[in-house]
Amino acid sequence: MNMRRFCRFVLLWCAAVVLVATASTVRAAEEILIYTALEDDQIPRYLVPFKKEHPDITVKIVRDSTGVVTAKLLAEKVNPQADVVWGLAATTLLVLDQEGMLAPYAPKGVEKVAPQFKDSRNPPQWVGIDAWMTGFCVNTVELKAKNLPMPASYADLLKPVYKGHLVMPNPASSGTGFLTVSALLQLMGEQKGWEYLDKLHQNMALYVHSGSKPCKQAGAGEFPIGISFGYRGIQEKGRGAPIETIFPKEGSGWDLEANSLMKKSNIKPAAKTFLDWAISASAMKEYAKSYAVVAIPTGEPIPEGFPREPLKQMIKNDLSWAAKNRARILEEWEKRYGAKNEPKK
């Protein structure tokens, strides 16, 4: 019998299996894995000072939408992969907290962060870096073409002229969608809030799956008015889309982008170094270029397009109420608006 042939055949078979099995990655000592929901256009800019100050630490970034990042973290609960969460919505960090997935850590300089921007426990489970808030993206070209007035408030959006021209993110799949709905319920009280949403629903053309999409759809003229968040509208305008960003008169719903240390068996020192840096002056300076409100005031001018007094624009928002009632609100929302099938013409 020809043993060589036989061996070759078996080897080929095994090689396939082994090739598949050993393709796993090997990690260096000073390497941390960061999960983030910060915008794609922000991350490279933010990381420039960090790389300069800590050249010895390699950061690997998993960037995705709030929903996907949270789902990934929860799916990996039994065996966490991430070392650090950076810039994830505080309301979803609260969910992770309830699951006992966060490790308490007080980064250097945390005392400078105002109380409403961080977890009240000491050491805190999470620390905020900036706030983002509801803004309407309005396409001025389309508005003129369709002869529509410029909306200035939530109440304006109920006017019959806007019927079929509005689009907003589905709160079940978008952080921006949820903070807007939760703000309306807090502003008007639950009963009035749902009544408002019922009427808004009559005007709504479509619910989409991300917070950025309504603004980009407005920019492309697909739907002239998109309920989105301020940063996105201002960015779109900067890129040349005919977009005006409106912050509603009644006040904007908001959420924090916050950081946290993941609870796992081997917490790396580099992870803590990163969290220290993430609320340092150099990091805050970068955040302040994107957002009007950051956790530690920097003295930088407020970016073009935001309200001059951003803190006044933000409503009184109870983040822990929002987190606690999230499941209930979403279920109610699905019951009221989820079963609708055809988009209204």
Partner 1 sequence: MADTVIHSTGPARVRSILDAVDLHQWLMRGMILLACLWMAVMVVLPLLQLLSKSLVDHDGAFVGLANFIHYFRTPALSMSLYNSLFVSVVTTAISVMLGFLYAYALTRTTIPGKAVFRGIALLPLFSPTLLNGITLVYLFGKKGLITTGFFGYFEKSAGITLAADIGLYGAVGIVIAEVFYVFPQAMLILSIALSMTDARLYEASDSLRASNVRTFLTVTIPGIKFGLMSATFVSFILCFTDFGAPKVVGGNYNVLATDIYKQVIGQQNFVMGATVSVVLLIPTVIAFLLDRISQRKQVALIAAKSVPLTPKRHPVRDGVFLAYCSIIALLLVAFLATAVYASLVRVWPYDLSLSLKNYNFRNMGGGGYPAFFNSIRMAFYSSVIGTVITFASAYLIEKSKGMFLLRQGAYFLSMLPLALPGLVIGLSYIFFFNQPTWALLGLEVRNPFNALYGTMAILVISNIVHFYTVSFLTATTALKQLDKEFEAVSESLGVPFYKTFFRVTVPVCMPAILEIGMYYFVNSMATLSAVIFLYSADIPLASVAVANMDDAGDVAPAAAMSVLIVLTNITARLLYGLMTRGVHQRTQAWTRPVST
Query: Please, which of residues 208-227 interact with partner 1 by CB under 8 A?
Result: 209-210, 212-217, 219-223
Which one of 81, 108, 121, 269 is in contact with partner 1 (CB under 8 A)?
Answer: 81
Query: Please, which of residues 94-113 interact with partner 1 by CB under 8 A?
Result: 95
- C-alpha Rg value of the chain to the nearest Å: 23
Q: Which residues of 199-230 are buried (b: 16+ CB within 10 A; e: fewer)?
A: ebbebbbbbbebbbbbbbbbbeebbbbbbbbb
Nearest approach, Cβ of 14 to partner 1 (angstroms)?
10
Which one of 25, 120, 191, 266 is in contact with partner 1 (CB under 8 A)?
Answer: 25
Contacts for 333 with CB less than 8 Å, ≥ 6 apart:
171, 172, 181, 197
Nearest approach, Cβ of 173 to partner 1 (angstroms)?
3
In degrees rounded to 5, what are phi and psi of residue 311? Answer: -65, -30
Query: Please, which of residues 114-173 interact with partner 1 by CB under 8 A?
Result: 141, 170, 172-173
Choice between 36 and 313, CB closer to partner 1: 36
Cα distance between residue 190 and residue 207, in whole Å: 21
Alpha carbons within 13 angstroms on the beta-carbon side of residue 29 total 2
Nearest approach, Cβ of 199 to partner 1 (angstroms)?
17
Cα distance between residue 311 and residue 145, in whole Å: 35
Which one of 32, 33, 88, 278 is in contact with partner 1 (CB under 8 A)?
Answer: 33
Helix 43-53 crosses helix 269-278 at what angle (to 10 degrees)?
A: 120
Applying CB under 8 A, does 26 fall inside the site for partner 1? no
Contacts for 259 with CB less than 8 Å, ≥ 6 apart:
84, 85, 86, 87, 88, 107, 126, 127, 128, 129, 275, 278, 279
Query: Please, which of residues 233-262 interact with partner 1 by CB under 8 A?
Result: 240-242
- Where does this chain touch partner 1 (CB under 8 A) — which range of 9-17, 121-129, 190-198, 307-315? 9-17
Nearest approach, Cβ of 245 to partner 1 (angstroms)?
15
Residue 110 DSSP code:
G
Query: Please, which of residues 286-345 interact with partner 1 by CB under 8 A?
Result: 327, 330, 334-335, 337-343, 345
Which one of 91, 125, 174, 245 is in contact with partner 1 (CB under 8 A)?
Answer: 174
Query: Please, which of residues 41-70 interact with partner 1 by CB under 8 A?
Result: 41, 44, 60-65, 67-68, 70
Nearest approach, Cβ of 297 to partner 1 (angstroms)?
27
Cα distance between residue 198 and residue 312, in whole Å: 27
Which one of 47, 103, 188, 206 is in contact with partner 1 (CB under 8 A)?
Answer: 206
Q: Are 324 and 186 in contact, with CB atoms under 8 Å apart?
A: no
Give, in order, the Cα–Cα distances in Å from 216 to each of 241, 292, 343.
9, 21, 19
Cα distance between residue 101 and residue 106, in whole Å: 16
Nearest approach, Cβ of 38 to partner 1 (angstroms)?
11
- Where does this chain touch partner 1 (CB under 8 A) — which range of 23-31, 117-125, 153-161, 289-297? 23-31
Choice between 189 and 343, CB closer to partner 1: 343
Residue 112's nearest CA partner among 125, 129, 97 is 129
- Where does this chain touch partner 1 (CB under 8 A) — which range of 10-18, 190-198, 248-256, 281-289? 10-18
Cα distance between residue 277 and residue 36, in whole Å: 15
Choice between 316 and 335, CB closer to partner 1: 335
Choice between 131 and 172, CB closer to partner 1: 172
H/E stretch holding 84 reads strand 84-89
Choice between 104 and 338, CB closer to partner 1: 338
